[in-house]
Amino acid sequence: MATITHEEAHTHTHGPELQHQFETPEQQKEAATLGMWAFLVTEIMLFGGIFMAYIAYRWAFPEAWEEAAAMLNTPLATVNTVVLLVSSLTVALAVNAAEEGKKRRLITMLVLTIVLGLTFLVIKGYEYSEKFAHCAGAKDPISWITGSDLHESHECLVPGRGFHFPDEHGSASGGHGAAKTVTMQSGHQLFFLLYFSATGLHAIHMIIGLGVMTTILVMALRDRFSPTYFTPVEIGGLYWHLIDIIWVFLFPLFYLV
């Protein structure tokens, strides 16, 4: 009987979101947060594998690393860092708005986050297309699309058969120490392999994050949240912040060597 009284006492203090296996909304939220963190730990270990490979090979090829990193577009990456940090702020403010039950502010912040996420992907996409354009022989992505100025570029930084890292004299001559050149080339190629793997996996997470944010936006528009229930905003936010943290490490490790 005591249990029934207890349940009756609670039915009016919370909405239908409370699943029957939980005693209180707080307990349900705690379970969701802890579950999300368990998932985030596995995500950290997934990226951890790439970071481990990075450490081992940077230790093995320090000079190649420094030369290869100089070929990346640091100004664009700096802009992207700012974009992601701002998006983390808008997500934190979205959670705050949901907590306070401010629907309009929540929607504004979610839309801003989605716009910033898309901006990040567009900039990242431009960076990638620069590298692929060079492999096609064009000097920038625009001339690659229009098909003009082909054979202007003598470098290809996308790992694979066509990989060619330009030496100091501009083109491949292979005069001094062939063995060393081969080692250096493989070091450069490893750098770019890790660069494309790490930033590519990160970009995939961004795309998933955008899907999560869009879902939360739709839920917010349908009035699914209240100050007592906004768990999806909270744990979706956790995911977004994790993506930001990964970039906080990718940025200095690849662009600021």
Determine the interface stretch with other proteins among 137-145, 156-164, 199-207, 241-249 (rule: CB under 8 A): 241-249
Which stretches of 100-185 are assigned E, i.e. beta strand?
none
The contact mask relative to other proteins for 20-39 (x = CB under 8 A, - = no) is ---xx-x---x--xx--xx-
∠ CA 191-196-198, rounded to 5°: 90
Q: Is 67 in the site for other proteins (CB under 8 A)?
A: no
Beta carbon of residue 49, minimum distance to other proteins (angstroms, whole number)? 8
Q: Is 142 in the site for other proteins (CB under 8 A)?
A: no
Cβ-contact 64, 187 below 8 angstroms: yes
Beta carbon of residue 138, minimum distance to other proteins (angstroms, whole number)? 28
> What residues between 176 and 205 interact with other proteins by CB under 8 A?
183, 186-187
Beta carbon of residue 222, minimum distance to other proteins (angstroms, whole number)? 25
* # of chain residues touching other proteins (CB under 8 A): 58
Q: How far apart are CA 149 and CA 139, in angstroms?
A: 7
Determine the interface stretch with other proteins among 6-14, 127-135, 149-157, 200-208 (rule: CB under 8 A): 6-14
- Comparing CA positions, the residue from 237, 103, 254, 140 lying closest to residue 193 is 254
b or e along 130-163 (b: 16 or more beta carbons within 10 Å of the residue's beta carbon)?
A: bbebbbbbbbebebbeeeeeeeebeebbbbeeeb
Beta carbon of residue 152, minimum distance to other proteins (angstroms, whole number)? 27
Backbone angles phi, psi at 37, to 5 degrees: -65, -40
- Give residue 171's region: left, alpha or beta (phi > 0; psi -120 to 50): beta
Beta carbon of residue 212, minimum distance to other proteins (angstroms, whole number)? 15
Cβ-contact 123, 79 below 8 angstroms: yes
User: Which residue's structure tokens are 């979101």?
Assistant: 17
- Comparing CA positions, the residue from 99, 92, 62, 85 lying closest to residue 190 is 62
Closer to other proteins at the Cβ: 143 or 183?
183
Closer to other proteins at the Cβ: 49 or 125?
49
Closer to other proteins at the Cβ: 132 or 251?
251
Q: How far apart are CA 202 and CA 242, in angstroms?
A: 10
Beta carbon of residue 180, minimum distance to other proteins (angstroms, whole number)? 9
Interface contacts to other proteins, rule CB under 8 A: 2, 6, 9-10, 23-24, 26, 30, 33-34, 37-38, 40-41, 44-45, 48-49, 51-52, 55-57, 59-62, 66, 74, 78, 81-82, 85-86, 88-89, 91-93, 95-96, 99, 183, 186-187, 234, 237-238, 241-242, 244-245, 248-249, 251-253, 256
